[in-house]
Amino acid sequence: MSDASEHARQAEALSRQLAEIVGAAHVSGVNADLQTFGSLEPDMVVWPAAAPEVARILDTCRAYDAAVGVTGARTRRAADWDRPARVRVALNTRRMTNILDLDESALTVQAQCGIRLRNLELALQRSELTLGFYPVQLHESTLGGLLAEPPPTAYTPMTGRMIDSVLGVSVARVDGSVIHTRVAPRRATGPDLARLYLGAGADFGVITGAVLRVMRAPELVLPLLTLHRELGTAVESARQLLALGVRPARLRVLEANQARRELGEPGYALPAVCIAVLAGPGALVDAQGRAFSEITANLGGSELPQKLADTWWAQQREPEREATMARPARGAALRYSSFAAVLAQLRDKLGDASGEDAELWIDAMSLHGLELWAPRGSAAAEAMDAMGLASIGRERPPLLQALREVVDNTGTMLERGPLSEPPRIVGDADVTR
């Protein structure tokens, strides 16, 4: 028997086994279904509905020496899948979309991995709750995708990283078991085992659900825009706000080209803009706003009209508008201590570049660092490459392979390439998650 026919025979046998687990309607080897999974090029796709089904699928695939790639809403650019000659199964989570529990006393929500962030947020909004003010460009991603491969944009100063809001995860493992890490506000009972899975793709298993911290919709949301003569002081104003202990729902700094893109042409120059969206109890937000004004004034900046800030914020909350703004971008994590030197070097390299080529923005600011972004393919991004600035999300820890060899010694879970891309517009064919 040829290798190809043996492969086909194996695939057919596995498909029958998977159909027994999820029902024949939820396994497909039809080309139209398979083609949507891009570079994974699976032999079949399977759509489980619950964690035990996922676990049985993994166990069965392991028994057949098949390889499994996990996909959610496929809003991310294709990673470089390892494509072994073995039978390949795409496990898609689109049927796992339930909210299992919403606890309005403890402010926690438990949801399955396939739910899109938009739907989760809508459900929370009905109870006047929210996960936080994450960019709406993430709303088409699944919860599982955002936790397994967190994009850098899944961060706000108010909530921290989305993965930091995870109180517990459920994971289906290659050995057919399902684990649930215990939900507690905090604990000291050994390592945080959930962290092995968050950000690990599906290296160690499939995150089938999670319990997340949510928050009440703030009483007041106040977007503020401040104008600075140069990027350095705009960044410094943001840093000083954070140093006061203020945790804005959004905090960004835009250089002139990016400011024009996001704010339009207000009729005056916008060399550098700092955006702080304050949220919380009204009296506290007001006090924080006063503090921000004082910081701005001390640094020689000025406040932009509230109407401009309100318009910007309204646009940020519109999914369609936000989607058109979203572009593939290249980012670098920097420290404040090196920011000025990096910026000077970058400007030197950019010379007279303007427009999209020179667009820069700063995001994910904390008291300890920031992220500098530029549109992918722009002169600024190329300059960042030339300067050797580390690309965000590409760094994998040591020891991964050693852990994989113990946790998944059959190599059932397909290895994924580096994570680096912010979400792209939904619907792109060349995406896998």
Partner 1 sequence: MTTAPRDTEATPAAPSIAAPPDRRLTEAIAELEQLLGAARVSQGDADRLTYSRDMWPRTLLAVRDGVPAVAPPDLVVWPASTSEVSAVVRIARRHRLPIVPYGAGSGVCGGAMATRGGIIVDLKRMDRVLEVVTADHLVHAECGIIGQLFEEQLNRRGMTLGHFPSSIYCSTLGGWLAARSAGQLSSLYGKIEDMVERIEVVLGDGRVVELSRDQMPDLGALMVGSEGTLGVITRAWMRVRPLRDFRIFRAYRFPRVAAGCEAMRRIMQRELRPAVTRLYDEMDTLMARPSKHDRPDESSLLGGAGALLGGVDADVQRSVVRAALSRAGMLSKVAESLLPRISSGCLMVLGFEGDRALTEVEAALAHAEALAAGGEDLGQGPGLHWWDRRYAVSYKMSPMFAAGALVDTMEIATTWDRLLELYDEVRKALSRDAVVLAHFSHAYAEGCSIYFTFAAAAKDRASSEALYDELWRRGLDATTRVGATISHHHGVGLSKAAFMSREHGEALSVYRQAKHALDPDGVLNPGKMGL
Q: How far is CA 357 from CA 45, 71, 177, 245, 255, in A?
A: 41, 33, 50, 35, 12
244 binds partner 1 per the rule CB under 8 A = yes
Exactly one of 91, 124, 178, 224 binds partner 1 (CB under 8 A); that residue is: 178
Least separation in angstroms between CB 317 and partner 1 = 19
Least separation in angstroms between CB 189 and partner 1 = 5
Q: Which is nearer to partner 1, 54 or 198 (CB)?
A: 198
290 binds partner 1 per the rule CB under 8 A = yes
Tokens read off for 169: 């995860």
**Positions 317 through 346 that interact with partner 1 (CB under 8 A):** 333, 335-337
Q: How many residues of this chain interact with partner 1, rule: CB under 8 A?
A: 69
Q: Which is nearer to partner 1, 80 or 103 (CB)?
A: 103
215 binds partner 1 per the rule CB under 8 A = yes
217 binds partner 1 per the rule CB under 8 A = no
Contacts of 59 (CB under 8 A, 6+ apart): 174, 175, 176
Exactly one of 232, 271, 369, 417 binds partner 1 (CB under 8 A); that residue is: 369
23 binds partner 1 per the rule CB under 8 A = no
Q: Which is nearer to partner 1, 46 or 370 (CB)?
A: 370
Least separation in angstroms between CB 332 and partner 1 = 12
Q: Which is nearer to partner 1, 245 or 388 (CB)?
A: 245
Exactly one of 6, 41, 192, 318 binds partner 1 (CB under 8 A); that residue is: 192
Least separation in angstroms between CB 131 and partner 1 = 13
**Positions 53 through 112 that interact with partner 1 (CB under 8 A):** 103, 105-108
213 binds partner 1 per the rule CB under 8 A = yes
**Positions 392 through 411 that interact with partner 1 (CB under 8 A):** 393, 395-400, 402-403, 405-407
167 binds partner 1 per the rule CB under 8 A = yes
Residues that bind partner 1 (CB under 8 A): 103, 105-108, 149-150, 158, 167, 177-193, 195-200, 203, 213, 215-216, 218, 243-246, 280-281, 283-284, 287-288, 290-291, 333, 335-337, 367-369, 393, 395-400, 402-403, 405-407, 419
